[in-house]
């Protein structure tokens, strides 16, 4: 294994795996830290954790365990993948995990770059934009678990990290690899270990990727991985895929703006069942009944708890945000288990935490990476008779669900 990756959620990990696979690396996504060694042909291993919103000490523990496994596979470089919208709180977990990995790897020049221009995320003067809006005006300020109220990455990282935070500005990035590397060295000499790096275009990320050659640790969104495979002499390649026959079901616990648009589009065209969190918590709505409903409806049936910020706030107020999140995630995980038992072969999920809960409940150990559906979302093979796609909350076009089902094999 050449490149070892640690993802703080499951959708984000598949986003990174997609980038690496498209760039030609033989990539496998693992659910949690594997107990067995990786296959000899794997060039990039992505260990998907569900560590984005947990206690920081536990996130550090899991990330260091993943690091130890990746090092045992012979990785030459480690990539810590977090969200392109920097999903975190003042307690973490991006800063604490990046600090712990940097200490373990003795990394003194750590790139911090969530940019993903393909999905509209750019970093300029250390500020994170989502399309034409600052992060804190993009809808992310209403996220149920990690509301992002600031777009200044230097300030966000400084609040979370014990290390000094520096900056490589766009005008240096535009000059290319040598200038980026020189500025990184200068920032290190000035005592800055965590370096926010501006990037607006894929071409910037290619230069940053080249500048990252040989660094023990890189952190960021999937964009900054674009240029890494070339450092290992690997060229882009087609990603093989065998479509899957059978029945499709869709599950969404994502309340993000993009998902809500996709749900409005889907509900107008396909059988859809709205899940009320209060019914989940009281037991009035069960996973078994939901799976049965999905199974009995033809086409692309969807079960969704996705709701707008006011409804989410009301649920959190009534039940507490952790209780509500855990109940809904467990519900979707159990629904997926019932779907698999009923013989559903294509499962589409929306939402990072939701997807993590589903993959863990299905006890899927490894995911083979297939072709890209929309930027950042690949088709995934989970077994001989099961394919899935894990959509990040804010990714995908309006007709994403239809498109995803088609790529997976729906006629």
Residue whose CB is nearest to ligand ADP in the complex, by number? 393
Please tell me whether residue 394 binds ligand LB5GJZVW under the rule CB under 6 A. yes
Question: In 186-225, which positions are buried (b, 16+ CB within 10 angstroms) versus exposed (e)?
Answer: ebeeeebbbbbbbbbbeebbbbbbbbbeebbbbbbbbbbb
- Residue closer to ligand ADP (CB basis): 52 or 167: 52
CB of 32 to ligand LB5GJZVW, least distance (A): 17
3-state secondary structure 322-343: HHHHHHHHHHHHHHHHHHHHHC
The interface region with ligand LB5GJZVW, picked from 7-15, 131-139, 273-281, 333-341 by CB under 6 A, is: 7-15
Residue 333 phi, psi dihedral angles, 5° rounding: -60, -45
CB 291, CB 358: distance < 8 Å: no
Residue 372: name its binding partner from ligand LB5GJZVW, ligand ADP, none (Cβ under 5 to 8 Å by kind). none
Q: Where are the beta strands (DSSP E) in 37-109?
A: 44-48, 77-81
CA nearest to 210, candidates 240, 184, 242, 244: 184
Residue 78: name its binding partner from ligand ADP, ligand LB5GJZVW, none (Cβ under 5 to 8 Å by kind). none
CA angle (186 as vertex; 181, 187 as ends), nearest 5: 95
- Residue closer to ligand LB5GJZVW (CB basis): 63 or 84: 84
- The number of helices, as runs of H, and strands, as runs of E, in the chain is 15, 18
Residue 136: name its binding partner from ligand LB5GJZVW, ligand ADP, none (Cβ under 5 to 8 Å by kind). none
Q: What size, in residues, is the chain?
A: 411
Q: Of 132-151, which residues contact ligand ADP (CB under 6 A)?
A: 143-145
Please tell me whether residue 392 binds ligand LB5GJZVW under the rule CB under 6 A. yes
CB 131, CB 123: distance < 8 Å: no
CB of 257 to ligand ADP, least distance (A): 9
Q: Which residues, 6 or more positions from 89, have their beta carbon under 8 angstroms from its beta carbon? A: 146
Residue 221: name its binding partner from ligand LB5GJZVW, ligand ADP, none (Cβ under 5 to 8 Å by kind). ligand LB5GJZVW
Q: Is 21 helix (H, G, I), strand (E, B) or coil?
A: helix
Strand partners, 366: 30
The interface region with ligand LB5GJZVW, picked from 21-29, 179-187, 203-211, 392-400 by CB under 6 A, is: 392-400
Please tell me whether residue 85 binds ligand LB5GJZVW under the rule CB under 6 A. yes
CA nearest to 387, candidates 361, 352, 362: 362
Please tell me whether residue 352 binds ligand LB5GJZVW under the rule CB under 6 A. yes
Considering only residues 253, 333, 378, 396, which one is a binding residue for ligand ADP as defined by CB under 6 A?
Answer: 253
Please tell me whether residue 393 binds ligand LB5GJZVW under the rule CB under 6 A. yes
Please tell me whether residue 352 binds ligand ADP under the rule CB under 6 A. yes
CB 228, CB 76: distance < 8 Å: no
CA nearest to 404, candidates 354, 357, 349: 349
- Residue closer to ligand LB5GJZVW (CB basis): 86 or 241: 86
Write the interaction track for ligand ADP spanning residues 73-102; mark x where CB under 6 A is met and - where it is not.
Answer: ------------------------------
Residue 221 tokens, joined: 């969104």
Please tell me whether residue 118 binds ligand LB5GJZVW under the rule CB under 6 A. no
Site residues for ligand ADP per CB under 6 A:
143-145, 253-256, 259, 277, 305-307, 311-312, 315-316, 324-325, 328-329, 351-354, 392-393
Site residues for ligand LB5GJZVW per CB under 6 A:
9, 11-12, 15, 83-85, 116, 221-222, 256, 351-352, 376, 392-394
């Amino acid at each position: 294994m050449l490149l070892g990756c640690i993802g703080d959620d499951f959708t984000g990990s598949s986003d990174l795996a997609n980038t690496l696979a498209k760039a030609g690396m033989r990539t496998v996504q693992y659910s949690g830290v594997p107990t067995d060694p990786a296959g000899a042909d794997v060039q990039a291993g992505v260990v998907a954790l569900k560590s984005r919103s947990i206690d920081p000490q536990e996130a550090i523990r899991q990330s260091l365990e993943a690091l130890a496994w990746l090092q045992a596979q012979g990785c030459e470089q480690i990539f810590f993948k977090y969200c392109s919208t920097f999903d975190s709180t003042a307690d973490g977990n991006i800063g604490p995990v990046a600090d712990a990995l940097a200490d373990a790897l003795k990394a003194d020049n750590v790139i911090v770059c969530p940019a993903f221009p393909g999905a509209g995320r750019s970093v300029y003067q250390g500020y994170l934009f989502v399309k034409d809006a600052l992060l804190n005006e993009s809808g992310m300020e209403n996220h149920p678990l990690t509301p992002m109220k600031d777009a200044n990455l230097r300030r966000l990282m400084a609040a979370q990290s014990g290390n000094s935070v520096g900056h490589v500005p766009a005008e240096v990035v535009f000059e290319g690899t040598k200038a980026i590397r020189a500025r990184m060295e200068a920032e290190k000499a000035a005592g800055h270990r965590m370096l926010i790096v501006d990037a607006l275009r894929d071409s910037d990320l290619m230069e940053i990727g080249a500048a990252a050659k040989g660094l023990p640790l890189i952190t960021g969104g999937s964009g900054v991985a674009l240029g890494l495979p070339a450092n290992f002499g690997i060229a882009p390649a087609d990603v093989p895929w065998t479509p899957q026959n059978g029945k499709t079901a869709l599950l969404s616990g994502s309340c993000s703006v993009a998902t809500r648009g996709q749900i409005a589009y889907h509900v107008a065209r396909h059988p859809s069942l709205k899940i009320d969190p209060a019914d989940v918590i009281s037991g009035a709505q069960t996973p078994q009944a939901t799976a049965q409903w999905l199974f009995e409806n033809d086409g692309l049936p969807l079960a969704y708890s996705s709701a707008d910020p006011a409804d989410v706030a009301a649920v959190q107020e009534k039940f507490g945000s952790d209780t509500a999140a855990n109940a809904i995630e467990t519900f979707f995980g159990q629904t997926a288990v019932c779907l698999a038992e009923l013989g559903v072969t294509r499962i589409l999920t929306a939402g990072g935490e939701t997807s993590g809960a589903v993959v863990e409940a299905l006890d899927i150990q490894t995911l083979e990476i297939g072709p890209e559906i929309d930027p950042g979302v690949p088709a995934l093979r989970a077994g001989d008779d099961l394919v899935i796609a894990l959509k990040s909350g804010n990714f995908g076009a309006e007709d994403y669900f239809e498109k995803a089902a088609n790529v997976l094999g729906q006629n």
